[in-house]
Chain A
Amino acid sequence: GQQLNQSPQSMFIQEGEDVSMNCTSSSIFNTWLWYKQDPGEGPVLLIALYKAGELTSNGRLTAQFGITRKDSFLNISASIPSDVGIYFCAGGKIQGAQKLVFGQGTRLTINP
Chain B
Amino acid sequence: GAVVSQHPSWVICKSGTSVKIECRSLDFQATTMFWYRQFPKQSLMLMATSNEGSKATYEQGVEKDKFLINHASLTLSTLTVTSAHPEDSSFYICSAPRLAGGLDEQYFGPGTRLTVT
Binding site for B on A (CB under 8 A): 1, 3, 31, 33, 35, 40-45, 48, 50, 88, 92, 94, 97-105, 107
Contacts and interface: CB of A to CB of B under 8 A. Distances in A.
A41 B111 contact: yes
Contacts, number: 66
6 contacts: A31-B103, A40-B111, A45-B104, A48-B104, A97-B57, A105-B43
Interface string B89-117: 00101010100001110101111010000
A1 B42 CA distance: 13
Nearest to A48: B104
Interface in B32-57: 32, 34, 41-46, 49, 57
B45 A48 contact: no
Contacts of B110: 40-42
B44 A88 contact: yes
A78 to B, nearest CB: 25
Nearest to B4: A42
Interface string B1-39: 000101000000000000000000000000010100000
Contacts of A105: 42-43
A107 B43 CA distance: 11
A97 B34 CA distance: 10
Interface residues of B, number: 28
Contact of B111 (A1, A31, A42): A42
Nearest to B10: A40
Given A42-B93, A42-B110, A98-B97, A3 B104 contact: no
A42 B108 contact: yes
B100 to A, nearest CB: 11
A41 B112 CA distance: 9
A104 B93 CA distance: 16
Nearest to A3: B43
Contact of A97 (B32, B43, B61, B102): B32
B61 to A, nearest CB: 8
